[in-house]
Chains A and B, each alone.
Chain A
Amino acid sequence: MVKDVRLVLIRKRGVLLKLFVNGEPKELESGLSLEGLILHLGIKKEAVVAEVNREIIQPDKRAGLSLQEGDQIELIQFVGGG
């Protein structure tokens, strides 16, 4: 309930972004970096390969990349395969 109210207040102030992470729509605070998103999601940063709008973002560039409205983010990992 508190979280919902907070989101409403942030939305009213216009600082929520709608973007897509692994095909799922997400609403996140404006100014969040790609690295911040990865941390927020609890993902080990060494284990992920990241794309934003089909462009691979190298690990050393993630902290400096601010996410924008409508960004399509792919967070990819190695999984079992033959």
Chain B
Amino acid sequence: MGETLEQLVQKDPWQINGKTFTSRLLVGTGKYPTNELMAQCLEASGTQIVTVALRRIPLDKKGEKNLLDFIDLKKVTLLPNTAGCFNAEEAIRVAHLSRASGISDFIKLEVLFDEQTLLPDPLATLEATKILVKEGFTVMCYTSDDPVMAQKLEQAGAHAVMPAGSPIGSGQGVLNPNNIRIILEKVKCPVLVDAGVGSASDVAVAMELGVVAVLLNTAIAHAKDPLRMAYAMKNATEAGRLSYLAGRIPKKLYAQASTPPKDF
């Protein structure tokens, strides 16, 4: 009997800055109807890295449970983001606050240019990357699918580059697979597709390009049935990765029969 699915997944881990993971699906914690459902979805997704944000504590909600009460930090690594920052200084400040929690040195660096597109500001992202890498953070950069920018971020020391498939929360999938493929050829650090995936097939497509992992949030949180979608995304990530490693058949112009010619 050949290897099981579980065995194939377990013997295909990926690393980032010395830390090893077997799940190739990173999941966000935003936009869920309830924290309880979020926790169920994280479990169903099999994720080992979850993104979170940092915001002011509401002063009028004494005794309310905190997000971290719903996340098992023994099972997952926290990846705090700098979402909502529009310059390097703000992003660096958020990274410092995150680190002060004592929970994680990982940072998902997002420095945005404008609120409508949520596109990254490449220059500010690069500036913040240099500083945060020097300060010992594990820096995973949200970026566009520009291969030049991906290379510059890697040169600046980014531990991973994370090109968007399409705008955050847009569900449009990977709009420019060729740029993702070029990035994969040009950089050596882990490349993850982050943002824009909307369906399980989008995730599988991204994984079949050869990225190490996919990061998503809205695709699960705003699905009609988030829990079902979380299972779908887990399976799609594994399917896409296995398909990539298995080596697909080439596309041909003409048919090639699967059955030998009739011989009677």
Contacts and interface: CB of A to CB of B under 8 A. Distances in A.
Check if A and B associate: yes
Contacts of B55: 76-77, 79
B67 A77 contact: yes
Contacts, number: 96
Task: Give the contact-size bracket for chain B.
Answer: 35 or more
B1 interface: no
A6 interface: no
Interface residues of A, number: 25
Contact of A76 (B31, B57, B168, B218): B57
Interface stretch (B12-20, B75-83, B237-245, B255-263): B75-83
Contacts of A23: 56
Contacts of B30: 79-82
Given A78-B67, A80-B32, A82-B31, A41 B59 contact: yes
B52 interface: yes
A51 interface: yes
Contacts of B56: 22-23, 74-77
**Which one of A22, A74, A75, A79 has the highest number of Cβ atoms from chain B below 10 Å of its Cβ?**
A79
Contacts of B218: 82
B68 interface: yes
Interface in B45-96: 51-57, 59, 62-63, 66-68, 78, 80-81, 83, 93, 96
A59 B63 CA distance: 19
A82 B57 contact: no
A51 B101 CA distance: 12
A81 B51 CA distance: 6
A54 B100 CA distance: 13
Interface in A26-46: 41-44
B97 to A, nearest CB: 5
B29 interface: yes
A72 to B, nearest CB: 12
Interface in A10-35: 21-24
A15 B23 CA distance: 56
B52 A49 contact: no
Contacts of A75: 56-57, 59
Nearest to A58: B100
Contacts of B93: 54
Interface of B: 28-32, 35, 38, 51-57, 59, 62-63, 66-68, 78, 80-81, 83, 93, 96-98, 100-103, 168-169, 195, 215-218
6 nearest A-B residue pairs (beta carbon): A81-B53, A82-B217, A82-B28, A42-B62, A80-B30, A80-B29
27 contacts: A22-B56, A22-B59, A42-B62, A43-B62, A47-B66, A47-B68, A49-B97, A51-B97, A54-B93, A56-B97, A56-B100, A59-B102, A75-B57, A76-B55, A76-B97, A77-B55, A78-B53, A78-B66, A78-B101, A79-B30, A79-B53, A79-B54, A80-B32, A80-B52, A81-B80, A82-B83, A82-B169
